Amino acid sequence: MRAVLQQIAVIAFVGASGTGKSTHAIRIARQNQIEYIIDDGLLIHGSRIIAGTSAKKAPSRLESVRQALFADETRAAVMRRALMAHRPATLMVLGTSDGMLSKISQNLWLNPPAMLIRIEDVSTEEEMRQAKEVRLSQGKHAIPVPSMEIKHEFSGTFADPFARLLRRRDRGHTMPDMDRTVVRPTFSGLGSYSMSDEAMRMMIEMILTQVAGVSGLMSFVVRSEVYGAVLDLDLALQYGSNAPRVIQEVQERVSSQVESFT
């Protein structure tokens, strides 16, 4: 495995925290035809997360750094297996310093970077100043994937979630466009998110229309537990329907789609 991983050409992108690395990584990757990026513990291909867990999900800044460095052998092994499975010819790795990039390369059994790009080479002082101001005042971070990709495993707050489509000037370019999502990490003290019971009820009613045999939702109660939300549903079933089958399908659809939507 080590020999295969060391065949990957590594492009390093270095910039201090809050200078807009993730945003500029999209453009630089496209310009250099790099389809795979490692950023804050995630392996990203195009606009999809292939492997890893966002370091911005970590409960503390210290743990966030450990995850971004792949200091934990289990996380490092998962990422190495993902790289083995996809075998990118070129990989862009983002980091805040040369030392951080060296640690990531060591932990993932990658060669030292073949090219080093610094944020100062691709961003003006004013752009970096504005990025830092947003980071400090609003606690916002950018992840170069759409919000629908990151939301399933991200416990922080989505700040202005959007998909920013970068139009290709060269229509013959084969690399897919990349999106980005702006989030507040779990360890940020700014902001929170919630869903009202009425909004949850409307979502459940929409899901129930997909299940044959259900005629309506009679009552609905949601309880918040430490391990997640518990939904108590009273259903009206159509006469003659197979109740055990209908209830099982309701459980499966509600569980999967509520998790997907939220």
Residue 206: give its domain's CATH number: 3.30.70.1350
Residues 205 and 249 in one domain: yes
Say whether pLDDT at 187 is over 50.
no
**Residue 254 belongs to what domain range?**
197-261
Q: Which two tokens stand for residue 256?
A: 């999967």
Given a cut of 70, is residue 164 above it in pLDDT?
no
The first and second tokens of residue 81, run together, are 């297996």
Q: What is the pLDDT of residue 65?
A: 83
How many separate domains does the chain show? 2
Tell me what pLDDT residue 246 has. Answer: 92
Mean pLDDT value across residues 153-167: 39
Instruction: Give the pLDDT of residue 171.
Output: 44
Pairwise pLDDT comparison (59 vs 165), residue with the higher score: 59
pLDDT of residue 55: 72
- Lowest mean pLDDT segment, chosen from 63-72, 186-195, 225-234: 186-195
Q: How far, CA to CA in Å, does 154 sit from each of 121, 141, 161, 205, 227?
A: 31, 13, 13, 26, 15
224 and 179 in a common domain: no
Mean of pLDDT over the chain: 75
Supply the pLDDT for residue 63: 80
Nearest to 12 by CA among 90, 99, 82, 101: 101
Q: Is 74 exposed, middle or buried (0-12, 13-18, 19+ CB in 10 A)?
A: exposed
pTM, to two decimals: 0.53
In this structure, the answer to whether residues 256 and 158 fall within a common structural domain is: no
Q: Give the per-residue pLDDT at 57.
A: 67
Residue 74's SS3 state is helix
**Edge-to-edge, what's the strand order for the sheet holding 115-118?**
48-52, 42-45, 36-39, 90-95, 9-14, 115-118
Range with lowest mean pLDDT among 6-20, 54-68, 238-252: 54-68
Percent of the chain with pLDDT over 70: 68
Chain centroid to Cα 40, Å, comes to 10
Both 137 and 16 in one domain: the answer is yes
> For residue 152, is it within any domain?
yes
CATH number at residue 62: 3.40.50
More confident residue, 75 or 56: 75
Residues 45 and 171 placed together within one structural domain of the fold? yes
Banded pLDDT at 231 (limits 50, 70, 90)? confident
